[in-house]
Amino acid sequence: MIVLAVLRHDQRLADVAGGNAVSESTVRRWRDELIGLLVAQTPRGPRAPPNSCAACSS
């Protein structure tokens, strides 16, 4: 839950860590591990080339 608070609310690691009696480096490690797990679960299909959105380029 601590890592979700960091990601969702964009709170500083030191603020979240101090309020939950863990070190900042621990929260950083947990955050990095969660991001790695999410990346591993991302489907690897064909991607659209940059600027391929017709509405975005006008």
- Rounded Cα distance, 5 and 13, in Å: 10
pTM above 0.95, yes or no: no
Give the Cβ contact number of residue 27 at 10 Å. Answer: 23
Helix (H) / strand (E) containing 15: helix 13-19
pLDDT, tens digit, 9 for 90 and up, residues 3-17? 877 777 777 888 888
Quick: pLDDT tens for 9-39.
777 888 888 888 889 899 899 989 988 998 8
| Percentage of residues of the chain with pLDDT beyond 70 | 78
Q: Give the per-residue pLDDT at 57.
A: 56
Measured between alpha carbons, how far is 16 from 12 in angstroms, rounded to an integer?
A: 6
The number of angstroms, rounded, from the C-alpha of 48 to the middle of its chain's C-alpha atoms is 22
